[in-house]
Amino acid sequence: MNGDRLYLGIECGGTHTVALVAKQGAKEALARFEAGPANLRLISDTELEALFRSIAQALPQPSSLGVGMAGVRTDEDRTRITGLVDRVWPRVPCTVDHDLVTALEAAAMDGRTEVSSRIVVLSGTGSCCFGRNREGITAKLGGWGHLLGDCGSGYAIAHSALRMLIDRFERTGSGGVFGPRVLQALLLNDLEPLVGWIQSASKRDVAALTPLVFGAAADGDTGAREVIETALRELLEFALSAADRLEKKRKIGPVEFVLAGSVFVRQPGWLPFIRRHLKARCSSASVRVLKRESVWGAVALAAKHLGPVVQAVVPLALSVPIPSSVDVSPTERRNSKSMNLDRMPLRKAIQLMLEEEATVPSSIGAHAAGLERLIRTAVRALSAGGRLLYVGAGTSGRLGVLDASECPPTFRTPSHWVQGVMAGGEKALYTSVEGAEDDATAGGTAIVSRAVDSRDLLVGIAASGRTPFVWGALQVARQRGATTALICFNPHLRFPRGSKPDVVLAVDVGPEILTGSTRLKAGTATKLILNTLTTLTMVRLGKVASNLMLDLNPSNVKLRDRAVRIVCDLTGADVSTALTALQSSGWRVKEVVECLGRNC
């Protein structure tokens, strides 16, 4: 019976870890465990497993677990935690998410049921805003850590107050109310040692000074009060942006803002300031402090399975329309010529591979009209201030990144003109990132993050034509008005209504010598297509004269020698004249050719 089930909730935060065991519907925990901080970005697998084992030894065996952990951002993070949980509690069902989900679940346990959206505004050592509306859509803002974000956090408040203190002392010679209290807390005799202290202080060490800032403000330190007000306004603006996202395209209903974290819990005197700021912009807002520990949200996760968080910022449909294939892709068929590849004499195997690769250009040639259309589209996009973006996974993605990286040195293009978007990110360029190509949402997120719009051309590259990451990117790009194209090696695709890209090059390169290894002929074909696309696009944009790189970026000795030869060939100038002109112009070949041609 459910009443006999024990639910273990674990919340790992930047300040401390709390674990509770409770029965469903209980208001009191049966057992409790506390430990130090455990942010996923700052803890090793060995340390995290040791923490879980300490919890297992201290608390009863659970029927299911819920874990909310600071630093969790991706499915890969969740898989990492789930694997460690399974080693400590084998075969016990587990739900893992970030600590904001647990805070939101805890808020829902004591909150109003009729709200349109509920948003947790967290300010502890770090800060973040996380909310969910009635439809289950979520929005998350912040949580980028103290080096990139965490506005309104304990760390941000204390750090800003220290900067204020130094600025005030240098201008007036006074530390105000705050200065002497900092010296007392850190056992310093003057401000000079603060330089060494801040260099070695942890995020938690700095955040620990936050109560001093609030105390100084309460005792009349106007600088401390200004620091707090500025920090809180920044965080509350994030909370209001979350509300805007959750209530977009409909009349805003009741929105509940729930304040969580040590900064809010320990400073109730600032609640009127917070309430005024939120209600001034969101008249339907109600504001309250989280009544119970957010670890109770982890207990709630243990009692029910929540699906993965869907960021409201990514406009993906629940199901990305991926084309079907009415027949097996040619690249997955077995090549009759290589059936005995494992026993073939080496010289003969080499000849066979070269012969197969030699068939690739004619296969591409059958799609010359489509390739021409793609080149003209790229020229229009770049001429209008747009970009050419390649999206792919595995070999396809790496070749896109390679072609994009070659454009700035070859054609002196700005680095943003041609971009490669790789499933799994930078790590996937040199190693396999498991599951990256199957994550359609991540593909869509990448396109939103790159701010793709109607001026851009997005080219998906997928040997099978069915890679979810690529199709997530294509769908979001199309929704944002961009022109889309697909390069693939499966001529048997059937596209769902309304999903076909504007240009499709479905080249049939036939079966690979090594069955399914699309780094071979499919990879060669991809390289040839991308070479042709960017080279002839740049020719049309005036970056080539005759067959010479008129606009190359001579960034090394080899390229500077080439630049001199290009100037000599195009203008008839001697080497000395060409070299002098290039050096004077900052090695701008096109500018020098035009100038010498006019006898400047």
Q: Name the residue with tokens 């310093």.
A: 188
| Active-site entry in 234, 406, 591, 594 | 406
In sequence order, what DSSP letters do the residues of 257-300 get, joined into one string? EEEESHHHHT-GGGHHHHHHHHHHH-TTEEEEE--S-THHHHHH
Around 472, how many Cα atoms within 13 Å sit in the side-chain half-sphere?
26
Distances (CA, A) of 27 to 3, 34, 293, 300: 13, 19, 11, 12
| Active-site entry in 247, 293, 356, 437 | 437
Contact 55, 19 (CB under 8 A): yes
Contact 360, 519 (CB under 8 A): no
Distance of alpha carbon 472 from alpha carbon 448, whole angstroms: 11
Sign of CA dihedral 582, 588, 592, 593: positive
The packing angle between helices 346-357 and 521-540, to 10°, is: 40
Distance of alpha carbon 111 from alpha carbon 417, whole angstroms: 49
SS3 of 110-170: HCCCCCCEEEEEEECCCEEEEEEECCCCEEEEECCCCCCCCCCCHHHHHHHHHHHHHHHHH
DSSP class of 421: E
406 catalytic? Reply is: yes
Distances (CA, A) of 192 to 50, 157, 162, 170, 187: 40, 21, 12, 12, 12
Distance of alpha carbon 387 from alpha carbon 453, whole angstroms: 9
332 catalytic? Reply is: no
DSSP class of 63: S
Q: What is the dihedral of CA 528, 530, 535, 537, to 10 degrees?
A: 140
DSSP 3-state assignment of 464?
A: coil
Q: What is the dihedral of CA 484, 488, 493, 495, to 10 degrees?
A: -10
Distance of alpha carbon 73 from alpha carbon 66, whole angstroms: 16
In the numeric block, which tokens belong to residue 437?
Answer: 């190509």
Distance of alpha carbon 23 from alpha carbon 45, whole angstroms: 29
**Strand 255-260 relative to strand 285-289, pairing:** parallel
DSSP 3-state assignment of 57?
A: helix
DSSP class of 311: B
Question: Among all residues, which ones are annotated catalytic?
Answer: 406, 437
